[in-house]
Chains A and B, each alone.
Chain A
Amino acid sequence: NAGVMQNPRHLVRRRGQEARLRCSPMKGHSHVYWYRQLPEEGLKFMVYLQKENIIDESGMPKERFSAEFPKEGPSILRIQQVVRGDSAAYFCASSPEVQNSPLHFGNGTRLTVT
């Protein structure tokens, strides 16, 4: 059973460009979380999604950031008009059900904005 797959592993964007980060959850997992990690800091919650639904986006910046988890295909975290402060590692995690299963994390995407 493949783990949580994130791609790309590294992404470089110039200021003003768009960044698209992809996450394929583990097989059978219908819950996806996105976290952001700045250098030397812990992971900060961004958004929690189930198939076709955003459950909790309280950690998402109000502008430029959006996330989706369509019925078919991976979850996408989209950052429009990137700025240098968006440079970070972005992690995706998935779980089959919320209460009794720990989250399984992908290896993250490191976004660098130049």
Chain B
Amino acid sequence: AQTVTQSQPEMSVQEAETVTLSCTYDTSESDYYLFWYKQPPSRQMILVIRQEAYKQQNATENRFSVNFQKAAKSFSLKISDSQLGDAAMYFCAFFGGAQKLVFGQGTRLTINP
């Protein structure tokens, strides 16, 4: 079974600085999708960014980008120019042949003004 590991339970960053959240996963599949979701205190699950495993180019969405290292099974999220509204729990997730999302344990991100 696939597993997703987020080794940083908590991270903090100064407003306007850059922070990187780590995620590793374990799979024997070659074709899959990876996601980062944001969960603010409202509890809503918000899709931040998505990466297809067959694409070598790293996905980017405005201030959010990923570093996808397929061989290392690593999928980190970089947030540039951090804003107060970025404070939330961030979940890395894997979607493969089992046709379901498998989530990591989450990283709580705090933004210091």
Task: Give residues in A with beta carbon < 8 Å to B.
Answer: 33, 35, 40-45, 48, 55-56, 89, 91, 93, 98, 102-105, 107-108, 110
B45 lies within 8 A of chain A by Cβ = yes
Q: Closest chain A residue to B49 by CB distance?
A: A102
Interface mask (B9-22 → A, CB under 8 Å = 1, otherwise 0): 00000000000000
Chain A residues, CB < 8 A from B106? 40-42
Contact A89 B101 (CB under 8 A): no
B84 lies within 8 A of chain A by Cβ = no
Sample 7 A-B pairs with CB under 8 A, ordered by A number: A42-B103, A42-B105, A44-B103, A48-B100, A105-B37, A105-B45, A108-B43
Chain B residues, CB < 8 A from A93? 45, 101
Number of interface residues of B (CB under 8 A): 20
Q: Which of B44, B98, B99 contacts A105 (CB 8 A)?
A: B44
Chain A residues, CB < 8 A from B98? 56
Chain B residues, CB < 8 A from A91? 45
Additional A-B contact list (4), CB under 8 Å, known A41-B105, A103-B95:
A42-B103, A43-B101, A48-B99, A89-B43
Contact A107 B101, CB 8 Å, known A41-B106, A43-B91, A102-B35: no
**A103 vs B99: C-alpha distance in the bound complex, in angstroms?**
11
Q: Which of A56, A98, A107 contacts B43 (CB 8 A)?
A: A107
